[in-house]
Amino acid sequence: MSLSAVITTLNEEARIGACLAHLRFADEVVVVDFHSTDGTAERAREHGARVLQREQRSLSSQKNWAIAQAAGDWVLVVDADELVSGELASEIKRVVSDPNARDGYRVKRRNFFLGREIRHSGWQNDWVVRLFRKGRGTHPERHVHEQVVVDGPVGTLRGPLLHYSCRSLEDYWRKLRRYAYWNALEARRRGARVSPLYMMIHPPLRFLQIYLLQGGFLDGMPGLVVSLLTAVYVVAKDTRIWEQQTQAATGASLDTPQEASR
């Protein structure tokens, strides 16, 4: 059985090389790039990846299209800010060669923030489905936090997937803005509304949940920063929901701003 690793990218020149270096065990690597303006595509080709360019309608549709281009019997979906550990690579190779393997597998991510591993703060139970038989896994339509749904039994792999989600605070702010917009839009489509009271109590409650109940204080200063930034994200998201419900009440357009998709 053959394995295809699939990555979707946008301006990931600084990280794509390390990501691909940890995927040498795959039979092929397919990179679907959203017309990056840096050297992402060139770096990917230098590492032996097959690079395709495509407009991105949403992260889910982009990943589904990328999966469809894979030639392997199995597909491994990886983001450019993730590294497949040696332990996980060995497990994946065993699964792909096992005729009795399940149709999909979840892996646990070890998350790093500004170079420091976050072991608590709500990030300690981050399980994601990333490995599946071709034709059995798909991403239901979502703009952010897209997840693979497998048609069949799903097993568990123990080797970690190393996730370096934030290179700098500037990088985080860009991601926060984008995620706040898209999550607010999806919440509005589900009928969500916010009130002044909700907007006052939601951010501090979220901070207390992350910092106290989910052990953020055990991560030291990085845990405090993560907890505070999560509260800021809640403010941004709730404000977006308020903006969108106000626009809906006045008949204004809810079109996506160009910067939110990038």
Please indicate, yes or no, whether residues 58 and 138 belong to a single structural domain of this protein: yes
User: Residue 217: which domain range?
Assistant: 168-261
Please indicate, yes or no, whether residues 215 and 89 belong to a single structural domain of this protein: no
**The pLDDT of residue 262:** 47
Cα angle 117, 20, 67 (rounded to 5 degrees) comes to 105
Please indicate, yes or no, whether residues 94 and 158 belong to a single structural domain of this protein: yes
Of the residues 165, 189, 207, the one at which a domain ends: 165
Of 19-23, 85-89, 244-248, the poorest mean pLDDT is in 244-248
* Residues 16, 43 contacting (CB under 8 angstroms): yes
Encode pLDDT of 202-216 as tens digits: 999 999 999 999 999
**Number of domains, the chain:** 2
pTM of the full structure = 0.86
- 252: pLDDT confidence band, cut at 50, 70 and 90? low
Mean pLDDT of 187-204: 93
Of the residues 140, 165, 190, the one at which a domain ends: 165
Please indicate, yes or no, whether residues 116 and 192 belong to a single structural domain of this protein: no
Of the residues 165, 197, 230, the one at which a domain ends: 165
Annotate 175-213 with b (16+ C-beta within 10 A) or e (fewer): ebebbbbbbbbebbeeeeebeeeeeeebbeebbeebbee
Please indicate, yes or no, whether residues 136 and 193 belong to a single structural domain of this protein: no
Of 122-131, 160-169, 180-189, 247-256, the poorest mean pLDDT is in 247-256
Encode pLDDT of 121-142 as tens digits: 999 889 999 999 999 999 988 6
Please indicate, yes or no, whether residues 142 and 204 belong to a single structural domain of this protein: no
Please indicate, yes or no, whether residues 205 and 141 belong to a single structural domain of this protein: no
Please indicate, yes or no, whether residues 132 and 117 belong to a single structural domain of this protein: yes
